[in-house]
Structure 1
Amino acid sequence: MPKRLIRINDSVIVPTSTPIINKRTVSPKWKRVWIDDRTVLAGSIIVVLAIYVSIFATILAPYAPNVGDNSLRLALPGTSGHWLGLDQQGRDIWSRLMYGGRMSLMTAIIPIVIAALLSGTIGLIAGFMKGKIGEIIMRFMDILFAFPTILLALTITTLLEVGIRSVIITLTIALIPNMTRIVYTAVIAESGKEYIEAAKVLGASKFELIFTELLPNVVTSLIVYATSLVGKMIIFSAGLSFMGLGIQAPQSDWGKMTSDGMAVILQGSYHAATIPGLVILIVSIGFNWLGDGLRNHFDPHY
Structure 2
Amino acid sequence: MANNDAALAERSASSSASTAPEAEPVPGDRAGAGRFRRVWIRDKFALAGLVIAATAIFASAFAFWFAPYDPYVGDGSLRLSPPGTEGHPLGLDGQGRDILSRLIWGGRMSLTAALLPIAGAFFVSAAIGLFAGYLRGKIGETLMRAIDVLFAFPTILIAMGIATVLEAGLRSVIVTIFVALIPPMSRVVYTAVLAESGKEYIEAARVLGASKAAILFKELLPNVVTPLLVYATSLVGKMIIFSAGLSFMGLGIQAPQSDWGKMTSDGMAVLMQGAPHVATLPGLVILIVSIGFNWVGDGLRNYFDPRYK
TM-score (ref. length: structure 1): 0.90
**What is residue 242 of structure 2 aligned with on the other side?**
236
**What is residue 23 of structure 2 aligned with on the other side?**
none
Shift of 1:29: 2.9
**What is residue 59 of structure 2 aligned with on the other side?**
53
* Cα offsets for 1:152-202 (capped at 9, x unmatched): 100111122111111011000000000000000000111111111111111
Shift of 1:138: 1.0
1:131 is aligned, of 137, 152, 155, to 137
Structure 1 unaligned segments of length 5 or more: list them: 1-22
Q: Given the alignment of the two structures, is residue 150 of structure 1 paired with residue 156 of structure 2, yes or no?
A: yes
SS at match of 1:49: helix
Letter in 1 for 2:242: F
Count of matched residue pairs: 278
Q: Given the alignment of the two structures, is residue 44 of structure 1 paired with residue 50 of structure 2, yes or no?
A: yes
RMSD: 1.2
**What is residue 192 of structure 1 aligned with on the other side?**
198
2:109 is aligned, of 96, 99, 103, to 103
Q: Given the alignment of the two structures, is residue 286 of structure 1 paired with residue 292 of structure 2, yes or no?
A: yes
**What is residue 141 of structure 1 aligned with on the other side?**
147
Query: Where does 1:193-272 land on structure 2 (aligned, <5 Å)?
Result: 193-272=199-278
Equivalent-residue separation in structure 2 for 1:165 and 1:268 (angstroms): 34
SS at match of 1:28: helix
Structure 2 unaligned segments of length 5 or more: list them: 1-28
**What is residue 277 of structure 1 aligned with on the other side?**
283
Q: Given the alignment of the two structures, is residue 175 of structure 1 paired with residue 181 of structure 2, yes or no?
A: yes
Equivalent-residue separation in structure 1 for 2:257 and 2:216 (angstroms): 42
TM-score (ref. length: structure 2): 0.88
* Cα offsets for 1:31-83 (capped at 9, x unmatched): 12100111001100100110111011101111001000000000000000000
**What is residue 31 of structure 1 aligned with on the other side?**
37
Equivalent-residue separation in structure 2 for 1:140 and 1:168 (angstroms): 21
Larger Rg: 1
1:65 is aligned, of 58, 64, 71, to 71
Higher relative contact order (CA 8 A, sep 6+): 2
Equivalent-residue separation in structure 1 for 2:199 and 2:244 (angstroms): 43
Q: Which structure shows the bigger proportion of residues in helix conformation?
A: 2
Shift of 1:281: 0.1
1:299 is aligned, of 287, 301, 305, to 305
**What is residue 21 of structure 2 aligned with on the other side?**
none
Deviating beyond 3 angstroms after TM superposition, the runs of 4 or more aligned structure 1 residues are none
